Amino acid sequence: MAHEVLLNALDELGEDEFQRFKWILKEERLKDSSTIPWSKLENAKTLDTVRLMIQTYTPPEAVELTNKVLKKINRNDLVQSSSASSSGTKGTPRLAFMVTLAARVENHPPFFVLPCNHLSQRGRGVGF
């Protein structure tokens, strides 16, 4: 399921942004990890790029690296911090939160997940 989250993030990029993402990705590394060769990334579509990232890195590393590259191409809107950052604690990037959530529900029966802002509106009589 982590691959779906990464794919959704990369799908938000325009073609030029995606090319810049891959160009930076080929140079980026996490600690002692390897890099993905440009020969594999150059003609890769979004799905191929996600597959290469998952094959090269663990899902959390792929998310961390994706966030790092997204920041470098000025797509901070895809790496927004959760509400935890407003409470003074270090925020979890939205993408990392989504991967964590996906990993937790992957082995459970399907259920509906609604964004928090759609659950109930206090004082409006909307609820379940």
- pLDDT of 5 above 50: yes
Asked if 30 contacts 61 with a C-beta cutoff of 8 angstroms, the reply is: yes
Average pLDDT over residues 89-103: 50
Q: Which residue has the higher pLDDT, 35 or 5?
A: 35
Q: What are phi and psi of 36, to 5 degrees?
A: -95, 125
Q: Does the domain formed by 2-105 have CATH 3.40.50.720? A: no
Q: Which residue has the higher pLDDT, 102 or 21?
A: 21
What is the 8-class DSSP label of residue 126?
Answer: B
Task: Give the pTM.
Answer: 0.63
- pLDDT of 55 above 50: yes
Confidence of residue 17 (pLDDT cuts 50, 70, 90): very high
Instruction: Report helix, strand or coil for 75.
Output: coil
Per-residue b/e over 83-100, b at no fewer than 16 CB within 10 Å? Answer: eeeeeeeebebbbbbbbe
Q: Give the other-Cβ count within 10 Å of 111's Cβ.
A: 6
| pLDDT for the residue 32 | 80
